[in-house]
């Protein structure tokens, strides 16, 4: 899934070039390239599908040149994750009705790839022998309010596999602390595994309108009429997440506990947490940054930009093209609010 705009990473991530296509960690690979390479040893190249906004087709094919054009499914506009997954399901059904499917965001971080591979293989084995909807749950390391949480049932299937009791969207700090201390909750990674049959049954039961739209339209898939068919489907399609539309309602949802160095890299704070720090706990991306009496900051500037900073503590300082963001780390959830004020005055181009 590669259709997001990464607005919380403004100004580095822009609508025209969002975060999944950026080498935001300074590794030499964009996040979507890292995701593709992470799965490449598990999934044949011809079995990849990337669902993204129509505006990003060329970016996907430029960054993932091993894929063919028909492997990039184009959404005319955003309708959240349920329609995105429904679209891929119907395309997969035309190729292999017995498929087992891994659904993954394109912009997440995984540090322990061998352990990730091991977890995915265990998950695929489970969904192959049981009609189920499986999500990967991350063992929480802190009471983070930026993640959704999954509560497990008391009776375990195995040491790491549980039936899901309930999902909880991003909690306040007090609830997050309780969740972590209880030992009953995992972070919701947004990575899912299931058989095509299981997820299609779930759509028929819990999102019948969306399922009907795609089922009706799939007669035009893999033909010159597909673009028009998808335009009509998305125009009439509900904007809803797979979590809310299916996972929170289904009675065959399981969670596989995992610990492979995961982050959704959803905020500058999460990037800071996963970046190397200097002796003053600053995470610096830029070749000519000179800091004085500055600590606990994240600074991301173009390589040729010379930056001299003094007296900063717990700040985000990011420059991209002709835009500069300076914001307290504790206020980063308000970045959307700040950029909206600028958009109201300067127009949508700044986003």
Residue 156 has pLDDT above 90, yes or no: no
Q: Please give the structure tokens belonging to residue 183.
A: 């030992």
What range does the domain containing 191 cover? 7-266
Q: Please give the structure tokens belonging to residue 106.
A: 């394109």
Query: Which pLDDT band holds residue 131 (cuts at 50, 70, 90)?
Result: very high
| Residue 120 belongs to domain with CATH number | 3.90.550.10
Looking at residue 336, its pLDDT comes to 87
Are 101 and 194 in contact by the 8 Å Cβ rule? The answer is yes
Looking at residue 157, its pLDDT comes to 87
Q: What contacts 340, CB < 8 A, 6 or more positions away?
A: none
Pick from 166, 210, 203: which is nearest to 184 by CA? 166
Give the pLDDT mean for 258-274. Answer: 90
Q: Which of 266, 292, 319 is the last residue of a domain?
A: 266
Do 281 and 167 fall within a single domain?
no
Q: Would you call the peptide bond into 135 cis, given omega within 30 degrees of 0 as the criterion?
A: no
Distance between CA atoms of 307 and 111, rounded to whole angstroms? 30
Query: Which pLDDT band holds residue 30 (cuts at 50, 70, 90)?
Result: very high
Do 51 and 94 fall within a single domain?
yes
Looking at residue 5, its pLDDT comes to 87
Q: Please give the structure tokens belonging to residue 136.
A: 């990967």
Distance between CA atoms of 142 and 130, rounded to whole angstroms? 33
pLDDT tens figures, 294-343: 999 999 999 889 999 999 999 999 998 889 999 999 999 889 899 989 98
Do 305 and 181 fall within a single domain?
no
* pLDDT over 70 percentage in the chain: 100
CB atoms within 10 A of CB 321: 11
Asked if the structure places residue 200 within a domain, the reply is yes
Asked if the structure places residue 147 within a domain, the reply is yes
Do 81 and 21 fall within a single domain?
yes
Strand partners, 324: 319
Strand partners, 110: 262
Do 53 and 189 fall within a single domain?
yes
* Contacts by residues 210-218 (CB-CB < 8 Å, ≥ 24 positions apart): 210/82, 210/83, 210/86, 210/237, 210/238, 210/240, 210/245, 211/86, 213/237, 214/83, 214/86, 214/87, 214/89, 214/90, 215/90, 217/90, 218/90, 218/91, 218/93, 218/94
Asked if the structure places residue 304 within a domain, the reply is yes
Do 116 and 249 fall within a single domain?
yes
Do 93 and 135 fall within a single domain?
yes
Looking at residue 145, its pLDDT comes to 84
Q: Where are the beta strands (DSSP E) in 157-292?
A: 161-168, 185-195, 253-258, 262-263, 283-285, 288-292
Residue 303 burial (C-beta neighbours within 10 Å; 0-12, 13-18, 19+): exposed
Mean pLDDT computed over every residue of the chain = 94
Are 179 and 143 in contact by the 8 Å Cβ rule? The answer is yes
Do 227 and 345 fall within a single domain?
no
Do 79 and 196 fall within a single domain?
yes
Asked if the structure places residue 1 within a domain, the reply is no
Asked if the structure places residue 207 within a domain, the reply is yes
Distance between CA atoms of 329 and 268, rounded to whole angstroms? 8
Looking at residue 170, its pLDDT comes to 86
∠243-120-82 over CA atoms, to 5°?
Answer: 20
Beta 185-195 vs 133-138: how paired, if at all? antiparallel
pLDDT tens figures, 134-151: 999 999 988 988 889 999
∠140-145-151 over CA atoms, to 5°?
Answer: 50
More confident residue, 200 or 7: 200
pLDDT tens figures, 65-117: 999 999 999 999 999 999 999 999 999 999 999 999 999 999 999 999 999 99
- pTM comes to 0.92
Strand partners, 206: none
Do 170 and 140 fall within a single domain?
yes
Look at residue 3 and give its three-state secondary structure. Answer: coil
Q: Which of 212, 238, 266 is the last residue of a domain?
A: 266
| Domains: count for the chain | 2
Asked if the structure places residue 2 within a domain, the reply is no
Do 16 and 111 fall within a single domain?
yes
Q: Which of 266, 296, 323 is the last residue of a domain?
A: 266
pLDDT tens figures, 217-245: 999 999 999 999 999 999 999 999 999 99
Do 22 and 104 fall within a single domain?
yes
């Amino acid at each position: 899934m590669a259709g997001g705009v990464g607005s919380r990473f403004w100004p580095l991530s822009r609508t025209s070039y969002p975060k999944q296509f950026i080498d935001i960690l300074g590794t030499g690979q964009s996040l979507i390239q890292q995701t593709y390479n992470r799965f490449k040893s598990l999934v044949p190249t011809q079995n990849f599908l990337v669902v993204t906004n129509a505006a990003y087709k060329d970016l996907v094919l430029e960054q993932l040149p091993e894929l063919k054009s028909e492997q990039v499914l184009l959404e005319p506009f955003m309708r959240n994750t349920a329609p995105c997954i429904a679209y891929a399901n119907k395309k997969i059904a035309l190729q292999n009705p017995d498929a087992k499917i891994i659904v993954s965001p394109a912009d997440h971080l995984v540090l322990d790839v061998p352990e990730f591979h091991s977890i995915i293989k265990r998950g695929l084995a489970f969904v192959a022998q049981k009609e189920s909807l499986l999500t990967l749950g991350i063992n929480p390391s802190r009471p983070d309010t930026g993640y959704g949480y999954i509560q497990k049932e008391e009776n375990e299937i195995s040491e790491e596999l549980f039936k899901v009791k309930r999902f909880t969207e991003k909690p306040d700090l007090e609830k997050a602390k309780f969740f972590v201390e209880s030992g009953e909750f995992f972070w919701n990674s947004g990575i899912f595994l299931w058989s095509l049959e299981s997820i299609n049954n779930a759509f028929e039961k819990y999102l019948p309108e969306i399922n009907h739209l795609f089922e009706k339209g799939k007669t035009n898939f893999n033909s010159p009429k597909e673009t028009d068919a998808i335009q009509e489907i998305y125009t009439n399609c509900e904007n809803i997440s797979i979590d809310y539309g299916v996972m929170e309602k289904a009675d065959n949802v399981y969670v596989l506990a995992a610990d492979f160095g995961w982050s959704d890299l959803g905020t500058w704070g999460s990037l800071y947490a996963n970046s190397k720090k200097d002796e003053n706990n600053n995470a610096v991306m830029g070749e000519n940054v000179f800091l004085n009496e500055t600590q606990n900051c994240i600074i991301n500037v173009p390589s040729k930009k010379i930056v001299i900073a003094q007296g900063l503590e717990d700040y985000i300082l990011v420059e991209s093209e002709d835009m500069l963001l300076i914001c307290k780390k504790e206020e980063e959830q308000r970045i959307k609010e700040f950029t909206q004020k600028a958009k109201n005055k300067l127009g949508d181009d700044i986003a």
